[in-house]
Chain A
């Protein structure tokens, strides 16, 4: 992997997201959005990584990311998602969910829509109104689902003023993250170590399925679904453990992998190469997990700047009926065959890496040391 560029940006970065490419496009990723946190004034910003061979006016390096535009955001940016090419949804620590619109002609961002009381502990009607941070947001045009510290799940539609559906008290603890499984189903993770699947087609406020770890109820902080196999889900926990689940089978994870030394903040399957998984953590590291079968040839190229070790996946449920034609390498239960190569991508340990995103050969991540790292050559 070639160089990873760092830039200090004077704000602690809580989320980084690549702008999605138009379907069928052959370009590589060029623009990403970031959200900051813990400042007196927080910003949602858009950055561009420019073209190859382009030296900008103050002699920055090729590949150095430049700020395109930014807009003030009230409260910490707790989560960020691109709704479509122009719109970005941001979840705030004030319980507000905002949709920002990017105007490419004059490079500005503006507020397109806002739901200010999406998450609260005691409602806006009561005198002791207290808002709750909105912790996660996921988009699937035209729907937006948000979850928060109040244990509430909201389903919004763009351009609808009120929430289409709200599940109050969906959870007695904090919901940390949410993802879509199949379109009417979502999956949430909470701070008592449970995955819950909710089906919006059903009335009622009960989840259709609950899965949890045995043993200690370690809070789960992040979740991501396999891009091709909608029943395979990866979660990251407070103890830095990576778990792979098959939601159709059983209530326990398929694999538990000891990973980081502190909270795992984000886990991402690579959208086009799902044998590759990326995790980042409070311990200041960002790991690339490579479960593809042609690992030996690639391993020599991955030794740049990090330790690489091989882990065996620890399979705890031997499901006899795994008979699909395409077995995901993450679910494979053969410990001898199964080797996952892990590489640390950041050159040195820093403060917490809060967020990462991958698109094609490009990776971006943001840290509490107020730096954004970008690489455009993940798989060289």
Chain B
């Protein structure tokens, strides 16, 4: 068991007196159910709990924020685009693509931030306004961290351009908070800046730049020592700042909003060609100097420091603790993994860090009634545990309309999850049968290619026919088409209906042979044979002979088969006796009709033509 990284927070449940009574709870996929029990701490368990509610506790409230939903949806698109980037791209083109993806993510965060800012300003309730504002600052911090990671890990800026990127980074973020100070400090000696860096088509090498800068630095130092500007203390302190003197810089502390602004300014004036690996010395000392022992570093400071130290795992770990939602770490880790920066770090259950974070994020999405569709794609790109997680989650999505069920089924079919398809179709088919929607039930069993269920539906139809004497839902049975082949019972149903149709059209010979084939081919269930034989009666009683002698023998054989194997019923109600009476009468009538038909058939077949 790992040690705790921080103290767990306590959440009070309204209405429950936790001092008096005990609570019980149960874990769900993303939530917890809590309610009060009637056990109280003094062991007397007769009292009724005072709080009648069951509470659902959600840790991740961000998923329910209207504005953050846009973040989830847009980043989902970017995530998919990233996964589909051609694996074979290497070198510069790959790097530029990855940088572009990173910038896309960041612009989505910024868009969200701006929208939330607008809502915060427009909020009528100050408590709401404060909540939105704190969300804005969280998003701002996220973008700050992401931007730094982009510069250090993805762009992998070498010495020289590194400082420029860092300058932009600070300018972008500090300018939001305090535009005035940045202008004062950032735009000093702009001409000197430009002439140095000469950015587009930089033909100077790093050494040349360093030499130029050294030259300029020494010149400034000479000015200072010669006390050229002694008459103006303001200009002198300006000179000291340009020499990168820390004390002078710190004097302007109010204009520097935070330690990383201080860091970059310091680097600009003392070591503009700083190499990435040297950054962390400056970072740590800048932090210490800026805080001056008055306050302790905040979580954001630790994260940035870890980034300057190129400790990616520490960055991710700290972010996971500080943020309440897995969105940030999941997407950032995935992107860094694509940059091939993460060593495979086996966690307790065998998957790597990227997969772990993506699984957590996607599971959180599945706990939301609507965002589960996004989660599906995230599971797709978790090679080890993604599929099995998806299988478990997708079966538990509540299906209140057929349209939603169709979407879920499509997801399962695209991934060849046949078990889930079957189980979902079975649930829907059962519901349909219970609601007497036999056509829907059949349509679901066809989709799942579930022969057993098709048999069940057919049995229902046949039962209805026996009870009512006519078919319900003729539109369905008459138009089964190839679906008839799904199950024997269904085929029988279709063919039986065809028999009725033929009889109605007076195609007696066809009807007769169909009826016979139904019985002899054994697709008719035994329970139905009596009905079939009874259906044969009117054909036997026709003026012309329909059944041939051969066919009549077959019918007789079926009848004998049926009567000889009649099971003996244990009960002896009068109803049962009456039933038996009816049965016996039927059998008698059949025997008579068969015999008569046989006689006529033999005579007809034995006679010569024309005589």
Which A residues contact B (CB, under 8 angstroms)? 8-12, 37-40, 58, 76, 78, 93, 121-122, 130, 132-133, 135, 149-151, 171-174, 190-192, 194, 196, 207, 210, 212, 214-217, 219, 238, 262-263, 282, 348, 350-352, 368-371
Contact = CB atoms under 8 A, between A and B. Distances in A.
Given A93-B400, A133-B400, A282 B479 contact: no
Interface string B536-558: 00000000000000000000000
A214 B481 contact: yes
A5 to B, nearest CB: 14
Nearest to B477: A172
Interface of B: 66-67, 69-70, 73-74, 76-77, 81, 114, 118, 369-370, 373-374, 400-404, 406-407, 410, 435-440, 442-443, 446, 472-473, 475-476, 479-483
A237 to B, nearest CB: 12
A173 B476 contact: yes
Given A212-B479, A215-B481, A370 B439 contact: no
Contacts of B410: 262-263, 282
Contacts of B406: 238, 263, 282
13 contacts: A8-B69, A8-B70, A121-B435, A122-B435, A151-B440, A174-B440, A191-B443, A194-B475, A196-B475, A216-B482, A217-B482, A238-B406, A370-B69
B308 to A, nearest CB: 34
**Most A CB within 10 A of own CB, among B437, B438, B483:** B437
A10 B482 contact: no
A156 B69 CA distance: 38
A9 B370 CA distance: 13
A351 B482 CA distance: 32
**Most B CB within 10 A of own CB, among A76, A135, A173:** A173
B435 A172 contact: no
Which secondary structure characterizes the binding site on chain B? helix
A137 to B, nearest CB: 14
A172 B475 contact: yes
A369 B77 contact: yes
Contact of A10 (B66, B77, B373, B443): B66
A353 B15 CA distance: 45
Contact of A217 (B81, B436, B440, B481): B481
Given A173-B440, A282-B407, 19 more contacts: A8-B70, A10-B67, A10-B69, A76-B401, A78-B403, A121-B436, A122-B435, A149-B437, A172-B439, A172-B472, A174-B439, A192-B442, A194-B479, A207-B475, A216-B483, A217-B480, A238-B406, A350-B77, A371-B73
Nearest to A350: B77
Contacts of B481: 212, 214-217
A216 B446 CA distance: 10
B367 to A, nearest CB: 12
B369 A172 contact: no
A289 to B, nearest CB: 22
A40 B442 contact: no
A245 to B, nearest CB: 16
Contact of A150 (B66, B404, B437, B480): B437
Contacts of A215: 481-482
Contacts of A282: 406-407, 410
Contacts of B440: 149, 151, 172-174, 191
Contacts of A133: 400-403
Given A58-B118, A212-B479, A369-B77, A149 B369 contact: no
Nearest first, the 10 A-B pairs at minimum CB distance are A173-B439, A172-B439, A172-B473, A121-B435, A8-B70, A10-B69, A10-B66, A133-B401, A38-B370, A173-B440
Contacts of B81: 348
B377 to A, nearest CB: 8
B111 to A, nearest CB: 9
B442 A173 contact: yes
Given A38-B404, A173-B437, A216-B481, A192 B77 contact: no
Contacts of B446: 217
**Most B CB within 10 A of own CB, among A39, A171, A192, A282:** A192
**Most A CB within 10 A of own CB, among B472, B479, B482:** B479
Contacts of B483: 216-217
A210 B67 contact: no
B393 to A, nearest CB: 15
A135 B437 CA distance: 15
Contacts of B114: 58
Contacts of B73: 8, 369-371
B403 A192 contact: no
Contact of B77 (A207, A262, A348, A368): A348
Nearest to B461: A172
**Most A CB within 10 A of own CB, among B66, B403, B410, B483:** B403
Given A12-B370, A192-B439, A171 B475 contact: yes
